[in-house]
Amino acid sequence: MMDEFIEECFGLTQSPDIVKALKTFTIKNIVRAYNTLTLERYAQDKKNILTHDYFDMLPGTILVHLDNNDIIGFQYDDNKDSIIVWYDTHQGVKYHTPYYVQELSNFMSYDDPVYSRKENWKNLIGNKLTKICILENKEDDIRYFDDAFQRAIILESEKENIVLSSLPEFLYPLCIIKKSQISQNILNKSKLIEL
C-alpha cells in the first residue's frame, strides 16, 4: 500500500466525489483523532464539560469510516474559516495531510465507554447518508477561497442527524452537535446549501 501527501484540502462543495461516497456507502464508524496531552489539558481546562461529552467537543480531526474501507477526514481550517474534507484512506491508499499526524494520534470512537454518548450516534452507524447540507455564513463578504465560511456540515440518515460544527456559538473549532442545537439566529444568518 502506498502513502501520499495532500497539500490542500477543500470544503464539501468542492469535493463531489466525497459527497457521493458519503451517500453511496454505509457508515461503519466515526472516530476522533487526538493526542493524550491534548486530552489531559482539555480535562483540566474544560471543567464544565462532562467526561462523556469529550468525543463531541474535543478538538481534533473527525474520521468517518465507510463500509468500502474508505475513510473520510473532516477538520476546521482557520484560513478558510471553514470545515474541510479529504480522503484519509481511498481505495487502499493512505493519505497524509497537514491537519493531523496519523502516527502521533490516538483515536476515540463514537461508542467510547468513557468519553462518548453512544446513544447519540448509534442510529447513524450502519446507515447511508440520505442528505448532506452545508451552512455557509452569509455575512462574510470578502472571499479568498470558493469554499470559505462553510461553518457546519449537516449529515442526515433516515434515522439520525449530526452536525460537524465550527459555528461561533459553540466556542470549539470542530464539535459534533445535533441539528436541533443550531439556533434560529445562526440559521437566519446562514445560507443552506444542499449537496
Taking alpha carbons only, the member of 176, 191, 177, 179 closest to residue 137 is 191
Burial class (CB in 10 A: 0-12, 13-18, 19+), 3: exposed
CA 150/CA 85 separation, integer angstroms? 11
Per residue in 1-20, pLDDT (tens digit) is 558 888 778 999 999 999 99
Per residue in 23-67, pLDDT (tens digit) is 999 999 999 998 888 778 777 776 677 888 889 988 889 999 999
CA 84/CA 75 separation, integer angstroms? 6
Amino acid identity, position 9 = C
CA 52/CA 103 separation, integer angstroms? 25
Q: What confidence category does residue 113 fall into, taking pLDDT thresholds of 50, 70 and 90?
A: very high
Which three three-digit cell numbers place residue 123? Answer: 442510529
- Asked which of 111-120, 143-152, 163-172 is least confident by mean pLDDT, the reply is 163-172
Beta bridge partners of 151: none
> Rounded to whole angstroms, what are the CA distances from 9 to 66, 75, 80?
19, 9, 11
pLDDT at position 163 over 70: yes
Which residues make Cβ contacts (< 8 Å) with residue 116, sequence separation at least 6?
Answer: 52, 54, 55, 56, 108, 109, 110
Q: What is the DSSP string of 70-87?
A: -EEEEEEETTTTEEEEEE
Residue 140 has what pLDDT? 61
Q: pTM here? A: 0.90
Task: Tell me the residue ranges of DSSP E strands in the chain.
Answer: 3-5, 27-34, 62-66, 71-77, 82-90, 93-96, 106-109, 131-137, 150-156, 161-165, 175-177, 190-194
Per residue in 117-159, pLDDT (tens digit) is 988 887 899 999 999 999 988 666 667 788 888 889 999 998 8
* Locus of grid cell 474520521: 63
Q: What confidence category does residue 103 fall into, taking pLDDT thresholds of 50, 70 and 90?
A: confident
